[in-house]
């Protein structure tokens, strides 16, 4: 009976380099460009090492997604504890790079069931955290949530960012500046101008022009 194939340690330096390379290819060229040879070339390593650290390409995609998702949850949790949670959530939801990566994973999930299950799991966790923060913030500001439940604002923020990033990738930008300006006006009514500590990171309107 053949012995199980050895897999490299999860914290090995070369494994991290391969994950970085795969993520860069996803962002720059899309999931179709992520092959074992391309990942190895980008990482400056031999192709055999890809399968030394990951049994299959699906394992590689899962590792890239899991790493970014856990990092994202940590960033989101910290952001929502800020004095201006709505500005923090808006900044988080409209980060172009993170949104592009999420959309690549969603496209890839159509072909890989294990990745689809992970996306659903983390998407629900993100949405629960976001909805909890928005609910608490709206109550704190005395905003009436009877007409528009907090979860609607949560879905709206996520949908806007994904739709606009997808359109920009195609070269469409009509209405983008106005949409971001509208959303930021709504946040200003509740939280005022972004505080100096986050002002340089929040201007989604300027970043997406």
Domain identity same for 82 and 170: yes
- C-alpha closest to that of 127 among 81, 165, 159: 159
Structure confidence at residue 164 (pLDDT): 83
What's the pLDDT tens digit per position in 8-17? 555 589 999 9
What's the pLDDT tens digit per position in 15-38? 999 999 999 999 999 999 999 999
Q: Quick check: 126 and 73 in contact, CB under 8 A? A: yes
Whole-number Cα distances in Å, 31 to 7, 42, 58, 69, 105: 24, 14, 11, 17, 8
Last residue in a domain, options 55, 70, 94: 55
**pLDDT reading at 64 higher than 60:** yes
**What is the C-alpha separation between 32 and 14, in angstroms, rounded?**
22
Residue 42 domain boundaries: 1-55
Domain identity same for 202 and 135: yes
Between 45 and 157, residue with greater pLDDT: 45
Q: Quick one: DSSP state of residue 41?
A: H
Q: What is the CATH number of the domain that holds 122?
A: 1.10.357
Structure confidence at residue 161 (pLDDT): 77
Work out the percent of the chain whose per-residue pLDDT is above 90: 50
Last residue in a domain, options 37, 55, 73: 55
**What is the C-alpha separation between 205 and 209, in angstroms, rounded?**
6
Last residue in a domain, options 55, 72, 99: 55
Output Rg (C-alpha) for the chain, integer angstroms: 20
For Cα atoms 30, 31, 32, give the angle at the middle one, nearest 5 degrees: 95
Q: Quick check: 60 and 172 in contact, CB under 8 A? A: no
Domain identity same for 32 and 109: no
Question: Residue 51: in which H helix or E strand, if any?
Answer: helix 48-53
**pLDDT reading at 4 higher than 60:** no
Domain identity same for 67 and 49: no
Domain identity same for 71 and 128: yes
Structure confidence at residue 8 (pLDDT): 55
- C-alpha closest to that of 69 among 122, 121, 16: 122
Domain identity same for 32 and 133: no
Domain identity same for 62 and 51: no
The token pair at 143 is 């905003």
Q: What is the CATH number of the domain that holds 5?
A: 1.10.10.60
How many structural domains is the chain composed of? Answer: 2
Domain identity same for 26 and 103: no
Domain identity same for 152 and 199: yes
Domain identity same for 7 and 100: no
Structure confidence at residue 197 (pLDDT): 53
**What is the C-alpha separation between 160 and 176, in angstroms, rounded?**
9
Structure confidence at residue 44 (pLDDT): 96
What's the pLDDT tens digit per position in 78-123? 888 889 998 988 888 888 888 889 889 998 998 898 999 999 999 9
Domain identity same for 50 and 142: no
Work out the percent of the chain whose per-residue pLDDT is above 70: 88
Query: What confidence tier does 146 reach under pLDDT thresholds 50, 70, 90?
Result: confident
Domain identity same for 39 and 92: no
Structure confidence at residue 199 (pLDDT): 45
């Amino acid at each position: 009976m053949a012995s199980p194939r050895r897999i490299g340690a999860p914290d090995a330096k070369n494994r991290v380099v391969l994950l970085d390379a795969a993520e860069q290819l996803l962002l720059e060229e899309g999931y179709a460009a992520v092959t074992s040879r391309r990942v190895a070339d980008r990482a400056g390593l031999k192709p055999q090492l890809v399968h030394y650290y990951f049994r299959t390409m699906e394992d590689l995609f899962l590792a890239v997604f899991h790493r970014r998702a856990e990092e994202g949850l940590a960033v989101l949790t910290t952001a929502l504890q800020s004095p201006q949670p709505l500005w923090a959530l808006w900044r988080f939801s409209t980060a172009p790079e993170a949104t592009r990566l999420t959309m690549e994973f969603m496209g890839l999930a159509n072909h890989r069931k294990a990745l689809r299950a992970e996306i659903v799991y983390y998407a629900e966790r993100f949405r629960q955290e976001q909805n909890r923060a928005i609910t608490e913030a709206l109550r704190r500001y005395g905003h009436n949530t009877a007409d528009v439940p907090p979860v609607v604002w949560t879905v709206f923020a996520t949908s806007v960012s994904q739709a606009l990033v997808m359109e920009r990738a195609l070269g469409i930008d009509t209405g983008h500046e106005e949409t971001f300006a509208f959303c930021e006006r709504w946040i200003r009514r509740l939280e005022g101008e972004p505080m100096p500590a986050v002002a340089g990171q929040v201007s989604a309107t300027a970043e997406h022009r």
